[in-house]
Structure formats: C-alpha cells, structure tokens
Amino acid sequence: MSDTERRRADTVFAGSVPAVYEKYLVPLIFQPYADDIARRVAALRPSKVLEIAAGTGVVTRALAASVPAPASITATDLNQAMLDEAAARGTTRPVDWCQADAMQLPFEDGSFDVVVCQFGVMFFPDRAAAFAEARRVLRSGGAFVFNVWDRLEENEIPHVVIGALESVYPDNPPRFLARVPHGYHEAEVIRRNLAAGGFMTPPEIDTVAARSRASSAREAAVAFCQGTPLRNEIEARDGAALEKATASAAQAIADRFGPGPVDARIQAHVITVRRD
C-alpha cells in the first residue's frame, strides 16, 4: 500500500465500522473525554459551537446536554456514515449535522465562538492547514478546544493490541494505532503546528488520565480491531484474518488484565487556544 493509499485508508470509517465504533469504542475510551471536553466548552458559554470530526456523536450528545441554550451546535465529519450513525442516535436538542472536510470548512469567517474536536486532529493530512481553517471560522477571541491521545505506552489496551498484532503479522504488522491515534502527542509539535496555523496565543495543554473499562477482553479487542481503520489494515493483509487478529488481541488483553472485566489506564492531552 502506498503512502497516499494508507493516508486515505486511515480516514475511512464505513461499512460496519460506525456501528461497532459506537457500541464498543465509545464507552471504552471516548465517553470520559467527551464529558470532559463538553464541560470545558460549556464553561466558555458560547452562542455558536462548531464540532469537527464528530464521529458518531459522543461529544455532540455531551455538548447538547451541557452547553446552555439557546446556543447552536453544528456537528461535522468527513464520513457521512459516521454522521448517519450519530443522527440516528439522536441528541437532547436540535443539532445541525453537516458532512464537511476539516481542511475546507464550508462556513464563513468568524462564524463560531468555539470550535471543538475530539481525537480528530491526528487524522488531518496537514494539521497546520486544518488549524488555520479552525481559526478562520472562529470569531476574534473565540476558542479552539481539542484533545489528542498521549503516547501509546500511556494507553494500556491499544499498546497490548499492537503487541498482539505484531505476533500475528511479524513481517508487516498493522501500525494504524501507533501511527495515527497515538502518533501526535508531543506538546512542542502541537504548539508549532498551532502557530503555523495562525494561533499566536500560547495554548493551554492539560494532561488528563482516565480509566478504560470493558466487560471482557473480547469486547475491548472488537472495539479496536473492528471499530477503527485498523480493520482496513488487517483486511488488506488477509481478508479472512479479521477474526484471527481479533482473537489474538483478545487473548493478549486477557493475559494482561485477567479473564474478567478489563480496567486499564488511558491518558490524553486537552488543548485550548484562543484566536487573538
């Protein structure tokens, strides 16, 4: 697979992936950070909020429940299948759903008080350019709030899954989890990219630890192997090997955390930066 094909595959959430993502991955790793980032946005008391890379809507739902009315919420994602899943789940108040590329947002300059993005910036092919787009649609003084995963070693389950898949594919292990979700965690790199995107005010960066819980090792393995673009990498190597890879990951998770419920460490950085 070429670099261009790999980058394209890294952003595809289609087929059964959105439903598996919502059922397994959201409660496993995304919900605690969605609640955290929604509280941060609500504290800013915005009147217009834009969410980019909304996925299946875990942050959108949290925003709808916590941002004071009558603030408007617009939620976007590159993948229409993810937005369809999000809209089907619904929210406690109206949300404008819009398929959009974060690299080319279809909104006027200065349209929003807050732009929020949960674990999406790692997927952007040009982060500085995407940050410039976020800045463009912010009003003066508005805030860009986003989070990124910390390094792989601080996130126990995906670290175990990577090791398991290295044993299944020793000559060419799938590296999506290390390359994308956990590949953008260095504070200085983030600061440089924000500055290149036009944000001159130094960002606030908070490191937030949480717990990742699943009812079984199998459930955690399905979340990562079948509910993320890691699935694309596995199936590209052997279309019939998805179950084998999932089973290997499940066994490795059980070996690490025991045969019952899984309780693991996760850690992320939350970044807030103002448009000056």
Q: Where are the domains of the chain?
A: 3-274
Asked if pLDDT for residue 151 goes beyond 80, the answer is: yes
Under CATH, to which class is 3-274 assigned? alpha beta
Q: Which residues pair with 274 in a beta bridge?
A: 143
Asked if pLDDT for residue 260 goes beyond 80, the answer is yes
The predicted model gives 54-58 an average pLDDT of 96
Q: pLDDT above 90 covers what percent of the chain? A: 89
What pLDDT, on the 0 to 100 scale, is given for residue 15?
Answer: 67
Q: Is the pLDDT of residue 7 over 80?
A: no
Q: What average pLDDT does range 115-120 have in this prediction?
A: 98
Q: Residue 238: pLDDT band by 50, 70, 90 thresholds?
A: confident
pLDDT at 182 over 90: yes
pLDDT at 246 over 90: yes
Determine the Cα–Cα distance for residues 190 and 121; give it in Å rounded to an integer.
10
pLDDT average, residue stretch 239-264: 94
Please report which confidence band the pLDDT of residue 11 belongs to, taking 50, 70 and 90 as the band edges: low
User: Taking residues 61-90, what's their average pLDDT?
Assistant: 95
CA quadruple 57, 41, 49, 268: dihedral sign = negative
Would you list the DSSP string of 99-143?
E-BTTB--S-TT-EEEEEEES-GGG-SSHHHHHHHHHHHEEEEEE
Alpha helices (H) along the chain: 3-10, 17-20, 31-43, 58-66, 80-89, 127-137, 156-168, 176-179, 187-196, 217-226, 230-237, 242-257
The token duo for 84 is 């369809």
Q: What pLDDT score does 241 carry?
A: 87
Rounded to two decimals, the pTM is 0.93
The total of other beta-carbon atoms located within 10 Å of residue 234's CB is 24
Question: Distance (Å, rounded) from C-alpha 260 to C-alpha 101?
Answer: 41
Measured CA to CA, the distance from residue 97 to residue 245 in angstroms comes to 35
Which of 38, 42, 44, 95 shows the shortest CA–CA distance to 68?
A: 42
User: Is the bond preceding residue 70 a cis peptide, omega within 30 degrees?
Assistant: yes
